[in-house]
A and B are shown apart, each in its own frame.
Chain A
Amino acid sequence: MLDLSDYGTSDFFQILKRRHPELLTTLNSSDVVPNPQVPESSFRPYEGTTVLAVVYDAGVVIAGDRQATEGYQVGERRIQKVYPVDRHSAIAVAGAAGPCIEMAKLFQVEVEFYEKTEGVNLSLEGQANFLSHLVRANLGLAMQGLIVLPLFAGYDVKRQRGRIFKYDAIGGRYEEGDYYAIGSGGKDARATIKKRYTPEINRQDALEIVVEALWDAADEDIATGGPDLIRNIFPILYTLTEDGVTEVPEATVEALYREFIAQL
């Protein structure tokens, strides 16, 4: 017979923790090794770098570069750091790539599971709060240097505007009004956005600012990947509006970069 004991639970993370802890290899604080004896040089996980989000008049743009590093080497050129969550939200992740991708995937399933079992969408605020728990569940690994930091953005259908949430390593949740960028090139990206950003900008301006900010991050930070015109690799951008989550087509991103480079 099916085990019906957790009927009524809309929290997929809880269900996995209780029934299948083996599927939560990294997001399970019981896995904390008290004194890791791994010499620093021999263990280099892939790390993802710069992700950012910018609010504009109709919603919010969320974007990330495509490079993952392994120490001072390029680990992966085409990694995806931005993931749609539900019809109006998306998560971008920076930090140790493995746990980052696991957190994004689990978060997406969690929100969808809630929606299907309850028959209504989990509110944007509810999603942002839940993400705090996931970041906190990674605390053990964060203490060992495997930090996962998400940037969460969405279009709040009740308040009718784009919103951005950032997190610290122990799960603290902070809302940003206009824009934010995290990861190794985050500070450089923020410096660019700060100079160019004005409230109530339109979509085109927002896309241009994002492209320029990611360019500057790649320019100043060795870990952040810029547009690769030879291999045709470009940052991934999503717009989140009342109409839903839309990926900005690669051709549009390429055109934005070519235009930007021509002005340099």
Chain B
Amino acid sequence: MSTPYYVSPEQIRQDKEDFVRRGIAQAKEVVVLEYKDGLLMVAENPRKTTFKISEIYDRIAFAAAGRIAEYEILRTVGIREAEIKGFRYYREDVTAKWLTNLYSQHMGAVAQAWDAKPLEIELLVCELGVEDAPDNSTLQNNRIYHIAFDGIYSEEEKYAVIGGRATAITEILQQHYTDNLELSAALKLVTDTFRTVEADAEDDYEITPQTVEVACLEQTIERRKFRRLSTQEVTTLLA
């Protein structure tokens, strides 16, 4: 029997990270940002039934970049776990923080397993704040959690970006983002940002109402706050 080569834990981690980074570098971006009435989510996605942005629960949405087969499972399992928790206790007890932990543990475990390939995905879990919560509580704040492939997550403020060119997009948003944007202004900011980044790309991806996927978590809607915007609505907002 031959003795296996020794590989240091640092090397194993580095290899996995490089592997995922190469995968994610190809992934189209998703942006989430706070606007006047809630959270707006926009992705570069020309397809009409395979989504990068989805509804999880009453106030919680999910956005993913990377391999669709890998994040679709996490999306449906997230809905399942959220519905079970809400059924057992109460709908208000289902939170983005709890769901983020669930995803984080799973993604971390997969990334560390010696016989499994790390998931080539990045996730955003977003939650709309409770408008009529007491002033001294933090429940009014919107929440944005960014989960990396290895389960390490961070809480972001105002906006967050996942996908290959996340850093470039974040830099542009840092310069141009302002609080309390109207829905149309927020959408324009994101599409303009996408356009700027695409201008530098080798093969040009044209940003039109047909090639972006747009959804929002909106305070003005009853109970289920998630709303997908139709191409027609996006056209009107961008006009």
Contacts and interface: CB of A to CB of B under 8 A. Distances in A.
Contacts of B196: none
A119 interface: yes
- Size range of the chain A interface in the assembly: 20 to 34
Interface of A: 1-4, 6-8, 12, 15-16, 19-20, 23, 105-106, 109, 112-113, 116-117, 119
Contacts of A8: 76
A119 B79 contact: no
A19 B77 contact: no
Given A6-B80, A113-B79, A117-B79, A1 B88 contact: no
A185 to B, nearest CB: 31
B49 A19 contact: no
B: contact size bracket: 20 to 34
- B contact face: mostly helix, strand, loop, or mixed: helix
B51 A119 contact: yes
Contacts of B76: 7-8, 117
B73 A116 contact: no
A6 B80 CA distance: 10
Given A2-B77, A2-B102, A119 B49 contact: yes
Contacts, number: 50
Interface in B101-115: 102, 105-106, 109-110
A7 B77 contact: yes
Nearest to B77: A2
Contacts of A15: 80, 84
A116 B79 CA distance: 8
Contacts of A106: 87
A23 B83 CA distance: 12
Contacts of A2: 74, 77, 81, 102, 105-106
A7 B110 CA distance: 17
